C-alpha cells in the first residue's frame, strides 16, 4: 500500500474548520495510507526544521500545503511580532524568505526521498479581492507555480480553483468581520462549546469558502481535497 504524507499547517491538521485530510482519506477508501503532518501555526521556516520526521516515514507521495501563515504574518507589525515570538523565527517574515524556505523544502524532499511531490498553491485568505492578504495569497501562489515548474515538481492549482469558484459563485461575501486570531477563537469556541457545525458558523460569518477568512468550511475543504485527489489519480494513478 502506498503512503501519502500531507504536510502543512492547521489547514492540513484539520482541527479548526472542515478537514480536507479526512475527506481525502475517505475518498481513497483504504487504498493508500495517509499520514497527517500538519502543525497548527506553522510557517515555511517551521516545516523546513521538521523535514527529518517526514523523510523517516519514507512516503511514496508528499502533498505540501504551506504558506498561509507566512502571508498572514506580513499583515501588520503586531501580527508579525506575534508570529516571530510564537514560532521562534530568525527573521521577519517576507515573500523572499518564504521563497527561500520553500525552495529548500522542495530540494530536500526531492533529494532525500523517492516520493512524488505535489506543491499546492495557497487557499485564498479573506474573500475580498481588494484585501491585501487576498492579493498576497495570489502573489505567493504565482511564485510557487514558477518555482515548481523550474524544479520539475508537481504543481497543484488550488488558489486558482478557489478563485474561479469565488468568481462563479451566485452568492456574495457579506461579512463585516476582519481577519484576526480573535475571530478564529470565537469560531472555535462556538464549535466546541455550543456544538455549531463549521458550515453553520461560516454562514453566520457571511463567508463562502472559510469559517474565519482562513480555515476552510465544507466547500473550501472539498476544493482542496479535489485538487489533491486529482493530483494523486491523474499523475500517479493512485487507485
Domain annotation for the chain: domains and CATH numbers: 2-167+217-236 (3.40.50.1110)
Distance between start and end Cα atoms, the chain:
10
Amino acid 239: pLDDT: 61
C-alpha to C-alpha distance for 136 and 131, rounded to whole angstroms: 9
Q: Which residue numbers in the chain have pLDDT < 50?
A: none
Amino acid 235: pLDDT: 66
Helix (H, G, I), strand (E, B) or coil at 46: helix
Rg of the chain over Cα atoms, rounded to whole angstroms, equals 17
Closest of 44, 52, 6, 18 to residue 211, by C-alpha: 18
Q: What is the pLDDT of residues 174-191, one digit of tens each?
A: 988 999 999 999 999 999
Say if residues 41 and 12 touch (Cβ distance below 8 Å). Answer: no
Amino acid at each position: 500500500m502506498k503512503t501519502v504524507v500531507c504536510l502543512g499547517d492547521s489547514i492540513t491538521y484539520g482541527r479548526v474548520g472542515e478537514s480536507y485530510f479526512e475527506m481525502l482519506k475517505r475518498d481513497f477508501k483504504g487504498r493508500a495510507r495517509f499520514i497527517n503532518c500538519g502543525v497548527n501555526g506553522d510557517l515555511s521556516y517551521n516545516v523546513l526544521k521538521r523535514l527529518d520526521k517526514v523523510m523517516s516515514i519514507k512516503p511514496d507521495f508528499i502533498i505540501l500545503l504551506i504558506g498561509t501563515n507566512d502571508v498572514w504574518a506580513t499583515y501588520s507589525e503586531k501580527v508579525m511580532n506575534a508570529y516571530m515570538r510564537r514560532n521562534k523565527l530568525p527573521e521577519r517574515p517576507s515573500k523572499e524568505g518564504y521563497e527561500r524556505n520553500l525552495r529548500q523544502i522542495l530540494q530536500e524532499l526531492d533529494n532525500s526521498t523517492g516520493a512524488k511531490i505535489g506543491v499546492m498553491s495557497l487557499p485564498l485568505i479573506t474573500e475580498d479581492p481588494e484585501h491585501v492578504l487576498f492579493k498576497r495569497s495570489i502573489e505567493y501562489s504565482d511564485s510557487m507555480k514558477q518555482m515548481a515548474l523550474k524544479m520539475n515538481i508537481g504543481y497543484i492549482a488550488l488558489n486558482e480553483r478557489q478563485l474561479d469558484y469565488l468568481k462563479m459563485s451566485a452568492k456574495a461575501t457579506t461579512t463585516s468581520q476582519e481577519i484576526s486570531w480573535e475571530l478564529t477563537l470565537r469560531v472555535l469556541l462556538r464549535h466546541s462549546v455550543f456544538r455549531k457545525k463549521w458550515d453553520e458558523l461560516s454562514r453566520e460569518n457571511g463567508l463562502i469558502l472559510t469559517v474565519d477568512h482562513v480555515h476552510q468550511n465544507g466547500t473550501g475543504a472539498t476544493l482542496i481535497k479535489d485538487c489533491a485527489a486529482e493530483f494523486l489519480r491523474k499523475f500517479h494513478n493512485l487507485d
